[in-house]
Structure 1
Amino acid sequence: MMIAHINQLTLIAGISLGLILRTIPVSAQQTVTCESYKYRYQFCRVNTRGGVRLVRQLSNTRCVQGETWDYDRDGIWVDKGCNAEFSVRGRDSGYNNNNSYNNNNNSSSGDGTAAAVVGGALVIGAIAAAIAGGSDDNSSNNNSSSDYPTITCNSKDNSYTLCPVDLRGRRAYLERQLSQAGCWEGDTWGYDREGVWVDGGCRGIFEIRG
């Protein structure tokens, strides 16, 4: 009886969350491919004000943020042979969808069906996170494949969390996302001289570079 009751509550919560999210505009997202042709610098103009995340490296050359790729508010740049797919989220309608390097425009603003799906995904993610349990610690990592020191930072209970680390004169980069929730620089994660902060359920491994 208890299990059945929990299942009913989960179903009700998922449906309710989906209905609530129908009234909330979902930020437009798209996948962009940007290639450093013949190892030359290439700038791919796209709205990046909601953040950029490297989804899949397509080149043999390693794509390292801050070295062979990065972005500003006007777009993404690649260099030295980096070719990759990037997930881009915009906060307004300023996407430029006429460029050849934009493979997919998956805008979902105002789409109630997509919002309901997001609601269900959030419930499933919460259940999965509860099952996974025991991996919420914020700590430095010694077993990362990165050549740089790293720190794992977790937004516990989807709330703002600061993971202290001395970043004076250094920068933090997202090496790997560990959460179902998206980790978007300037939105759900960032850093200052006191350390790396995360919010909105973001959990990831962050490189600390000089």
Structure 2
Amino acid sequence: MKTLLKPLLAALCLLALSAPALAQYQPRAYAPEDLRSLSYNDQVRVIRLEYREQSGGREIADDQLRFYVDQVNRSNWRFSDIKRDISKSLAGSTGPGPLPGGAIRCESPDNRSRVCRTPWSGPSRLSRQISDTRCEESRNWSSQNGQVTVWGGCRAEFVEGWGGGQGGAIRCESPDNRSRVCRTPWSGPSRLSRQISDTRCEEGRNWSSQNGQVTVWSGCRAEFVEGWGGGQGGTIRCESADNRVANCRTPWRGRSQLVRQLSDRRCVEGQNWSSNNGQVNVWAGCRGEFARAGSGSGGGDNGYTVTCASQNGGYTTCNWPPGQGRPRLIQQLSTQACIEGRTWGMAGSNRIWVNGGCRARFGN
């Protein structure tokens, strides 16, 4: 009897010694390429196992797990796609190269900040959100030339912010109502192409553009494109914010005309807007879009013109540059009659005076 017990006791001892090693054993993830052939519970099981295997025992985040299951059942991802994507995710961005479509992935693990380099030198835009946490630029992600930064649990894929040419778009956002300046890939002004914020974006009220940059404030978040195509036939937007004077440069050298009023307050030339060669001036709440004046809109379009208005019916003078000859009345803009010698005339050789409510365009 003792002879039989000795081998049995030895086997039990060996089994006891090997128990810790067996306890540490983790089964490898195994599944067919087509994960749709598995039940939902088996899909979850093999994805969890694959993530543990690649991460050294860590558990996959619930939102990432749901993302993979959705990709399997909605986008026909195969098991090799899941394994490849987990590898890229654990690498922090794109691993050895960009994702299909030229995208990169950047993820904020455990709400920590993460910086991911991009294969393009310009800014980036979000193309696909992976996290349950909503990814909003400036709130939990941002981009600068050559990199994307995520924080606060944002996990997403990003692509190049513009195509590198002059026809792309940039995104500029005012986080927490703060002012933000965004550079543009074009040298001219910009126009709004798509509003993102619940706050209405209105040029002059919470966004503006100058050559080479867009500025947003007071909660405006939007995408912007080039303001004109670079030719003489485009338009510019000029707005008087809080009744202040705004001076807006134009890409044409001649006179400008109002083509679309944006403000509730009526824009009347000479009363709250004017134009000189190379710029439009607005004040007293006028907000509008302006274009180069057509050749058929007045006799002075091919020469030098000045709009002069009698402010509050009083005596007002306006510059008339030397060397331009004596001006003549081109177009009366006021309901009050403009009569030379009575309500308008020359004050010396380089100034026009108006009075009695006269408002008109003068030219040579």
Structure with bigger RCO (C-alpha 8 Å, 6+ apart): 1
**TM above 0.5:** no
TM-score by length of 1: 0.36
* Structure with larger Rg: 2
TM-score by length of 2: 0.22
